[in-house]
Amino acid sequence: MKVTRLLALQALLAVVCTSVMSMAQAEEPSFKLTTGLLMLKAAEDPSARAWDVNLRHTSSYGNVWVGYFRQADPDPVVDTTQVRVGWDNTYAVGTWRVTPSLQAAWGGFWGGSLNVERGEAWYAGAGIGRTNLSPYVNLNFDPNDALMASGGYRWNAHESLGVQWVRDNRENPDQRHLHLVYRRGLSEHERLTLDLLSKAGTITFNSGETQYIHKLGLAVTYDWHQHFVRFAYDPNVNFSTQDMLRVSVGTRF
């Protein structure tokens, strides 16, 4: 799908949601609309493109989101369409912050995660994720059935440096991601986020041959008051043979 059609769809969703908000009598809710274009390339496969639209609503009940993914291809095995929904929230339990999440998608997929974190300036956390292993378009890109650990330092509300380790602990226990994430506010309404990814694990080619990889990826996000843009490169995305370049634009309203 052409980028112009993606932007038109995003604009249409924004108009619809804004109309719904204007009809509500309660406190104005918070929405985040993201459109992403994914460009995939592998030496043994032809290039492919996919796109995703995601709408998130934040309230006192947490974050609720719905997403639509589409990768068109003449091959019915590769042709993919999936609608996804999810929810997450963070609760204070004593000195701990507890974050549960739930996800579901067309095709019978369901999954969830649970993370706990403690600390203010210095912080540390751990978590676990589980799914029913049904087909799922993983746009989180980290392993879903996994153990997680995190930690870092927050200088203030506008600057932080964190590390997150994610390791598959179910079907592919040698697959793991290590993120180094730096966030810094550049002005009152602008922020830069850098996410350096180190990934290691086994991938399988069409021939059945396997290879252990160790690759680096990078995501760069720039936020304005209402809008943001993200560029990301992920080699062997989701531990496939494809390298991915992702461009996302979004708005908050």
pLDDT at 77: 60
pLDDT band at 79 (very low <50, low <70, confident <90, very high): confident
Q: How many domains does the chain have?
A: 1
Q: Give pLDDT tens digits for 6-43.
A: 444 444 444 444 444 443 334 554 999 999 999 999 87
Residues with Cβ within 8 Å of residue 68, at least 6 apart in sequence: 52, 53, 54, 81, 82, 83, 84
CATH for 58: 2.40.160.40
Determine what percent of the chain is predicted with pLDDT higher than 90: 80
Q: Give pLDDT tens digits for 186-217.
A: 998 999 999 999 999 999 998 899 999 999 99
| Contact between 149 and 170 (Cβ < 8 Å) | no
Q: Which long-range contacts (CB under 8 A, 24 or more apart) does 156-160 make?
A: 157/185, 158/183, 158/184, 158/185, 158/191, 159/183, 159/184, 159/185
Q: Give pLDDT tens digits for 214-234.
A: 999 999 999 998 999 999 999
pLDDT at 136 over 70: yes
Distance CA 161, CA 127 (A): 19
Domain with 185, as residue range(s), is 3-252
